[in-house]
Chain A
Amino acid sequence: MIVQQLVNGLTVGSLYALMALGLTMVYGVLRVLHVAHAAVFTLGAYGGLWTFTLTGSFWLALLGAMAVAVAAGLAMERWVYWPLLAKPTVATLIASIGVFVGLEEVYRLVAGPEPHAFRVTLRINDVRIAGVLVTAPQVLVIAVTVALLAALWLFLTRTSLGLALRAVSQDREIAAACAMNVRRIVSLNFALGSALAGAAGMLVGVYYNSVSPTMGDVTAYKGLAIIVLGGLGSVPGTVVGALLIGILETAFIGFVEFPFPRDAWAFLAMIVVFLLRPQGLLGR
């Protein structure tokens, strides 16, 4: 049963990782807390559902989800974050929260306040390894997450563009002095992070068969706790932090008979990290 619960935890953690990566990447290049990222996540779910209703194809829907998310992320970067960059960080933070709340209301007005079903017939089977059951939806979530994370890792470590992105994230001014087009790289960064959030939104929609305007609420603040835990701006740290929180939440429910609110774990972990290792698990 321990392994079985580990599978449950890894699935939830995978979804957290996809969601939080964009946050940490944006923090890396712009040093802003991108709360509206959660609205991008929700938009991905709606975009995916809409594409799926039109085409009936899961993969096209995933592309659709990522496409609308990228468009939304780029629009926010262009019209919200970039113009406010010279202002104090609290201005961008407030703007970001405003965009998040505003977009949730837009989703509610357009799609209605009630949850919509996102029923996809999966053509994959449950996997059983040594008595441990990984159900078809879990296989899907873990497989898509691993594929996207691997692609991101290859991009960041094996391409010159990825190198430029890391350079900008380390020091925007020096990167600019080295003749890099910082503006384009920041946009690319937003696009990548938003694409991951869009994919996460759609996967959550399919996994729980439910898409609703407020589905980004919990992820909005939990995402922030996870990136602080992992180390602000650290991509591997965020993945480790997300998986850790997923497993911690699941294990507690699985093995302790006490109704401790699961969403509190991310914050408890964040506080502990603040006290013992303020730069985060893998932060520098």
Chain B
Amino acid sequence: MLTAEGEPTMKRFIVAGLMLVATAVPAAAQGPIKIGFFAPLTGFAAADGASAKHSAEIAVEEINGAGGIKGRKIELVVYDDRHDSKEAVAVASKLIEKDQVVGVVSGSYSMPSRVTAPIFAKAGLPVTVAYAVHPDVTKAGPCVFRNGFLGQVEGAAGAESAVKLQKARRIAVLTVDNDFGRVASAAFIERAKKLGAEIHSEQVYKLGEKEFGPYLTKIKDEPIDLIYHTSYYNEGSQIARKARELGIKAALEGTEGIDSPKFLELAGPAAEGVTFTTNLNRDDPRPEVQNFLKRYQAKAGTGADMVGASAYDAVRILARGLETGGTDPKAICAALTGLKDYHGITGKITRFVKGEVTKPVQIQIVKDGKVRSFAVIDNPEVITPPVQ
């Protein structure tokens, strides 16, 4: 009796279980894999935020167009951090708890990346960081990977270009008063002195400064060959305009902060001849780079910049982790830690060392209103990130 009654129950149980598995497995395989993404879509950095978002979307479209990750599509969950640390923290919790993403791409600046990295690290999620430069971002945990340069690398590479290639003997420095500006300028000054140049002066200005008359008037009549400025497109364009307005003939060199079509637009003719350090080479003949530049132009209506190219790479790097490691955060993390010779559009990543990359620094120049290649700095002494 017992067995006779037990059998159908058992059978029903097994059948029901099989049905559950049968329906659950394909559903899981067909559902999209969620990747979190945040960038400053509003506020002063909005142009950079838009560029990062467009490019991340291009990467996702390409991956999905090519069949996704083992048959599953990727879904990008996009949030605006408004370049506000409180907002960024809220975004991080939403991505972890509400959206339950398997990995995160930071398309944002240092500050939001830096406050959210420890939150993601605690949740065990892998993070790829497109272009944020602060050293602490990758120190949040073993699973944070930076696609861009550290400020130290950019500053030193800027000095190589200024002193060795542009033959500057006397240099004035304008530093934006934030982590990036201070670190990059300090590295520039150290390297430039080492290479035998004289640093005429360093002036520090606050982020968001519009009026550079007082700063540039100070050095207007001094015999200076080059002005090195750490800045973003808003400040960098004002520096270039004011320098030319005052009749300053010295060369101008900036950083990736001015690598944006907005710099060309806001600086106008004063952008001509300005050089800057970055990771995107517009003249790179590789088809993946040229394809990206074309697709970006078609999607955004303006030229691509390093912020976009870096966000594209950051999405694709995380996708590579998903391909090898599946959707288990630990496995993705292991896959990225073991990543070898990855060819991104912003350069080749041999491997990540403590989350940092070693890639050549591009020096780009504005020529006839277009950004072109000026030089490549690949001196290992300069481009190796300072990680212990």
Contacts and interface: CB of A to CB of B under 8 A. Distances in A.
Contacts of A108: 42
A210 B234 contact: yes
Contacts of A262: 206, 209, 211
A209 B209 CA distance: 14
Contact of B238 (A1, A208, A251): A208
B249 to A, nearest CB: 14
Interface string A1-23: 10011001101100000000000
Nearest to B202: A257
B246 A133 contact: yes
B215 A253 contact: yes
Given A5-B217, A8-B217, A254-B218, A117 B265 contact: yes
A259 B206 contact: yes
B47 A114 contact: yes
A78 interface: no
Given A114-B50, A115-B262, A209-B266, A214 B214 contact: no
A172 B49 CA distance: 50
A163 to B, nearest CB: 38
B241 A209 contact: yes
Contact of B177 (A12, A112, A218, A259): A259
A8 B209 CA distance: 14
Interface in A54-76: none
B44 A214 contact: yes
A114 B48 CA distance: 9
A83 interface: no
B175 to A, nearest CB: 9
B131 interface: no
Nearest to A12: B211
Interface in B179-195: none
Contacts of B211: 8, 12, 250, 262
A181 interface: no
Contacts of A102: none
Contact of A259 (B44, B204, B267): B204
Contact of A114 (B208, B209, B246, B262): B262
A5 B42 CA distance: 35
Given A209-B241, A253-B214, A254-B218, A259 B205 contact: yes
B331 interface: no
Nearest to A214: B44
Contacts of A251: 214
Contact of A113 (B41, B177, B241): B41
Interface string A246-284: 000111011001010110000000000000000000000
B37 to A, nearest CB: 18
B218 A261 contact: no
A183 interface: no
Contacts of A125: none
Interface string B33-49: 00000000111101101
Interface string B258-277: 00001001111000000000
Interface string B225-246: 0000000001001100100011
Contacts, number: 81
Nearest to A114: B47
B247 interface: yes
Contacts of B177: 259
Interface string A105-143: 000100011111101000000000000010111000000
Interface in B46-61: 46-47, 49-50
A108 B41 CA distance: 11
Nearest to A264: B206
A8 B205 contact: no
A235 B21 CA distance: 80
Interface string B194-220: 000000000111101111011101101
Residue among A11, A117, A253, A262 having the largest count of chain B Cβ atoms under 10 Å: A253
A119 B268 contact: yes
Interface in A156-198: none
Contacts of B217: 1, 4-5, 8, 254
Contacts of A12: 211, 213
A10 to B, nearest CB: 11
A83 to B, nearest CB: 31
A205 to B, nearest CB: 11
A9 B265 CA distance: 26
Contacts of A11: 213
A152 B340 CA distance: 71
A132 to B, nearest CB: 10
B46 A112 contact: yes
Nearest to B214: A253
A5 B241 contact: no
Contacts of B238: 208, 210
A209 B214 contact: no
Nearest to B215: A253
A133 B204 contact: no
Contacts of B47: 113-115
Nearest to B242: A135
Given A259-B205, A262-B206, A250 B268 contact: no
A141 to B, nearest CB: 11
Given A210-B237, A210-B266, A254-B217, A113 B43 contact: yes
Contacts of B262: 114-115
Contacts of B267: 209
Interface of A: 1, 4-5, 8-9, 11-12, 108, 112-117, 119, 133, 135-137, 208-210, 212, 214, 218, 249-251, 253-254, 257, 259, 261-262
8 contacts: A5-B214, A11-B213, A114-B46, A114-B47, A133-B247, A136-B245, A218-B208, A262-B206
Interface of B: 41-44, 46-47, 49-50, 177, 203-206, 208-211, 213-215, 217-218, 220-221, 234, 237-238, 241, 245-247, 262, 265-268
Given A5-B217, A8-B214, 8 more contacts: A113-B50, A115-B234, A208-B210, A208-B238, A210-B234, A254-B214, A259-B177, A259-B206
